[in-house]
Amino acid sequence: MYSITYPSDIPDPDFPQLMGQLRARLHRYCARMVGSILDGEDIVQETLIKANESYDARTVQNVEGWLFRIAHNAAMDFLRKRAREQALFNDDSDASDVAPDPDAHADRRIVAGAALRTFMRLVPAQRSAVILADVLGYEAEEAATVMETSVAAVKAALHRGRVRLREIAQQPEDAAPPPALSPDDQALLIAYADRFNARDWDGLRDMLADTTRLDLVARRKPRLVTRGGEYFTNYARTQGLAMTPLIVEGQPALRVRTEISGGAGGPPYLVVLQIEGCKVTSIRDFRYARYAAEMVPSHKG
């Protein structure tokens, strides 16, 4: 996690560790709620900061439910600001009970394979209910606590969301290609991967701006560094990693995988770059937040 100073009077010393353990689940929820891996991580970080500021073990009985309620509210605030949805719960205003859905298990398979943009085709209440129930395994009562609504409303939203996802699953897939990088940016991205794979650390430093924003997600607070600081020095101590260029949400990125026999380095992860004026001005490294790569199809890049 980022380096956060926790007040000494917090009654539960295990709270920071618990936040770290729940971070991947929070991201699975937030990324699907807002349709973005990267924005979802921003919302997770906002959630953890808010939680750290207000947590009191004497009043919080269910830490996971409490964290998800903060994340839910942060995601809804994000959607309002982005103005993608005008009415948040208007489709689920009735509190009528919904009969058990005989296709629920099939729906969970559909949800598991759905792209982020697919969730954005559901209204927020349906989206939240489907993610909580079919991605994270919440019961209706638990989802109602997170969404701050009634169990009946959750069941209605879940039913309608599943029906809508079935309809979407029957429609032809959107074959629109991802946004293309400019030829210069694409060339720089490929060169970045080539130099990393060749362990040309000085060559990588030459690709950076005078100061570059470095964000080691879930590890250290973002900061400006000169020529990468110790970033590449630390990577030089690591063996068996290789980068492959790809595009994530229209941004130049790299999938980092382990080539050591047996995959001792863990699952792949993302590094997302920002390029301006043929220089790398920002590095967002998800080495300590590998869950983000789960939502990027492996055939890309």
d(CA 152, CA 35): 26
pLDDT at 169: 82
Burial class (CB in 10 A: 0-12, 13-18, 19+), 288: middle
pLDDT on residue 93: 47
Model-wide pTM > 0.85? no
The pLDDT score that the predictor gives to residue 138 is: 96
State the average pLDDT over residues 155-179: 81
Q: Tell me the per-residue pLDDT of 66-123, one tens digit each, with 9 for 90 and over.
A: 999 999 999 999 998 875 444 444 554 444 455 555 555 545 656 655 778 888 899 9
Ordered domains of the chain (ranges, CATH): 15-170 (1.20.140.160), 183-295 (3.10.450.50)
Residue 227, burial from CB neighbour count under 10 angstroms (0-12, 13-18, 19+)? middle
Q: Which of 7-21, 63-77, 183-197, 279-293 has the lowest mean pLDDT?
A: 7-21
User: Looking at the predicted structure, is the pLDDT value of residue 231 above 90?
Assistant: yes
Q: What is the mean pLDDT of the chain?
A: 85
C-alpha–C-alpha distance, residues 85 and 163, integer Å = 20
> For the purposes of burial, counting CB atoms within 10 Å of the CB of 281, is it exposed (0-12), middle (13-18) or buried (19 or more)?
middle
Among residues 199, 194, 229, 214, the alpha carbon closest in space to that of 280 is found at 214
